[in-house]
Every structure is written in structure tokens, then in C-alpha cells.
A = this chain, B = another copy of it.
Amino acid sequence: MSSSRRAPDRRAAREGRSRAGRSARLAERRSRAPHAPAYITRRIPVFELLSEEGLDAIEQQAEWILSEIGIEFRGDSQALRLWRDAGAEVQGERVRFERSMVGEIVRNSLPLQFTQHARNPERSVSIGGDCTVFSPTYGAPFVRDLEGGRRYGTLEDFCNFVKLAYSSPWLHHSGGTVCEPVDIPVNKRHLEMVYAHMRWSDKAFMGSVTAPERAEDSIELCRILFGRSFVDEHCVIMGNINVNSPLVYDGAMSGALRRYASANQCTVVVPFILGGAMGPATAPGAIAQAHAEAMTGLALTQLVRPGAPAIYGNFFTTMSLKSGAPTFGMPEGALAYMAVGQLARRAGVPLRCGGAFTSSKIADAQAAQESADSLSPALLAGTHFVLHAAGWLEGGLTMGYEKFVLDVDRLGMMHVLMNGLTLDDNTLAGEGFREVGPGGHFLGSAHTMANYETAYYEPELADSSSFEQWEEGGARSAEARAFDRWRELLGAYEPPPIDRGVDEALREFIDEKKGSMPDMWY
């Protein structure tokens, strides 16, 4: 492999980039740099919901599940062999684990914290510790905007969402399947999706997991972009592995998990539990189940390759008693996230949970309320990687353009929240009080002038004008303002530079792969 493929040559890229008309945007981007870090470094405490005794009870229940009920690995003889070699009890496809075995495997070698490298090194993200990373919604077959309504997603939509995430200072990650590009054959989608992340963004991203060979293709594209030896030693891609809850890993998922782990790339292991269906209707039982499932997947990554990075995931949601439909943003989910955060800290693993969830079909009051109520508790819980942080509608079936930019605006606020309060002579404002005194006004004071610009988060989409101004402006809803905003962002989008040789090599690999197999549509 040529040296030009090892890693993007940033100087060449800068020089090759047309400068005309960009200086203003660059200046703007630089000026807000201090407010737009590559990821959040948490400066507020986590919320400790349960007592140590409560956590013990859930952990013990998880250990009981692992030792008495066990987990099935279906259609993956290699996984079963790894478990047998590690000393687990394997009967058919059912695996049972001695108490504390799974936790010990995880503790022995799974990294507490790691870096996922982006092709722009300034955008590499740290996963774990005090860090929090926001990533767009994953996996929706539909997209929606105010003008076009709800429709199947296409590659154009996919690229649009990659560009919108790239444009936002508050999304740290480009995500994975930001929507399903259903105009591309199923067996070739992963190639175009990974390429879109590589080409239209310079943030970190996720690869395919729908089959082990698609996982392998995703990693191979990274080897072209980052260089083979760099990829072997550094995490540059993530695969999101769903458990087939309750208590089952299917072979496609555990196979993809093994591919990512063996390539030293990150797997996110996510029990997917709709309480009352794929798990108990009582949250504590569902949490114990999820803990057992997630820890088993994490342990498997370490059996494949000790030290491979991985993330403890959780996707738990509630159910409508009327209809059996999943509900989002409900209080039981919030409580579950907080308990899960504590369990992940005890286990010493990076955590993925939460997102801007809703079952609403549009970006209305329901959507905003449920999204706030599912994202906030995830942050309080100490979540390190938040998938689904922007765009989610309709239980994840739809990626919404308006919802996306509304969510992103709130993610900006979460940056401020996670930064906490800074206490010093300036913020305590002694000089201000001396100057203004009782009955005075701080607006024109020297202290206010000195702190004016950095004082408060300025939302992009919230309207704080007077009723009369708002009415004169057309009495528009937040959703209507969001419609303008995403089109404005796409209009102003400029792609990040990429080395031409690397780009050509990526396309060559993709076109060759696509040419090597017939289109499959299922």
C-alpha cells in the first residue's frame, strides 16, 4: 500500500482546496472552535440512582441468568468454540457461565477508554471516561421533511444527513446507517454508505453489521482510507451489534462482532429490549437481562482479541398498554438508563444508551418532549456514546430533516449543561454588584459587557421574540423554522478535502465489489 494511503495528507488537502469564498466560513468556524470541541468533556457529576445494594441485586440477577438460563449463540460455531475454550458450559447452542466469569473476562482486557480516529485528526473522538460523543440516528428506512412528507430514504437522503451532521458543531460523529438508502441494492448499500461517510464528512463513523462479509468490506475501506497498519493498531470504525433479545445472539451479529473485534475495531453491543416483549414488563428484570446480554457480547470481543475496543450498549423501551406499540421518553426508560449507567461504571466499560427518541410522526410537542426525556437521563447516567442523538421520529422508522436540526440545536445546549458552572471572581460578579447596587440595572454594566457574549447559549431555532414580532414573521412553529434551517445548511455545505488518490482507491474497491455480485433487493 502506498504511503499516500496510510492516512489523509492534510497539508496537501488544504493546498488543493479552492480558497475562493471560503474565508468567511472558515473564520466563522474558527471563531466558534472553543465552543465546538471534538467531543464533550464532562464537568458535572453523574446521577447515582440506585444504592450499592440495589446494584448488587441487579448484578446478582444477571449472574443468575448467565449461570442458570444461559445465552444462545445461534449459527456461530466459532463463537461456541471460543466459549468452550474459555471454560463456559456449552450445550448445543446454549452457553452457561459461572458466576463472575463474564465480568472477569471483560475487566481483564477491555479498554476503559479509547480513541476512535477520524480522518481529520482534530475530529477524533474519545470514548469512555469523562467524554461524551453525539452521533445521528441509525437505521431508519424512511425519511421525512415538511415539503416531501414521509417517503423511503435514498442515497441522496443518506448523503444529505452525512452533510448535515458534518455541518453541525454539536454532532461529534457521522453515525452509521443515517437512513436506509433503499434505492441501492441491499447487498451493495454498505459500500455506498461507508463511502458517503468517508467522502462527505471527516468525522468518525460506523460500518456495516448486516453480514460478516459486509463488516469486512467496511473495515477494508478503512484500510484504504487510513492505511492497513494504522487500522490494525487504532480504532477507526464501529459496528453496532444488536442482541436478538431475549438471551440470543444470531450468527450474523456475532459473526460481524467477531470481524470487528479481530480487526481491533469497536463493537457496540446492544441488547434490544421492548419491555414486555423481548424482556420482562418490569424494568429491573429487563435491566438485569440487558446487563447479562451486553456483558456476554463484550466478553466475546475479548475472547476474539484481548484489548479490542468495545462499548456496552443498551436499548430499552416501554410499551403502550393499549396497543402493544413501543413508547419512548417514558419515565421507566429514564430510570433504566440511570441504573444502566451505574452498572456500566461498575463493570468499567464505556456506555452507549439513550438518544432523542419519540414515537411521534412529526417534529411536534410530543417529539420534543419525548426526545428531551430520553436524551437527558442518558447524559445524567454518564453515557459515553449517544447514538440516535438527532433525527429520530416514529420509533426509529423515520429520519426527519426538521427533527434533525431541532435535535442538534438542543445538543448544543447539552454541551453547556455538561460543562457545569464555573465559579471564580468574575462569575461571582462582585464588581458587578458594587457597580450596580440595589434597584440598579445590570444591562449596561461593565460586568455584563465583559461577559455578554459568552454568557448564555443562543439557540438557533427557538423563537424568543415578542408575540407581535412572531406573528409578523408568519406565526411559524419550530418545525417550520427547522425546515428553512436544514435547507440553508445543505445549501452552504462544502465537502471536506480528501486526497485524490485515496478517493480513487476507495471508488475502485467499491466499484469492483459491486461489479462482482448481482443486485439483491432483500
Contacts and interface: CB of A to CB of B under 8 A. Distances in A.
A467 B362 CA distance: 10
Given A49-B44, A365-B368, A325 B466 contact: yes
Interface stretch (A28-36, A187-195, A345-353, A412-420): A412-420
A417 B284 contact: no
Contacts of A369: 368-369, 371-372, 406, 410, 478
Interface string A22-66: 000000000000000000000011011110001001100100110
Given A365-B368, A447-B280, A467-B397, A360 B478 contact: yes
A280 to B, nearest CB: 4
Taken together, the copies of this chain in the complex come to 2
A124 interface: no
B406 A325 contact: no
A320 B464 contact: yes
B359 A467 contact: no
Contacts of A45: 47-49
A108 interface: no
A326 B442 CA distance: 14
Contact of A421 (B335, B362, B380, B442): B335
Given A327-B456, A330-B413, A470-B361, A281 B451 contact: yes
A322 interface: yes
Contacts of A115: none
B246 A439 contact: yes
B421 A50 contact: yes
Contacts of A414: 331
B282 A429 contact: yes
Interface string A211-254: 00000000000000000000000000000000010111000000
Contacts of A370: 462
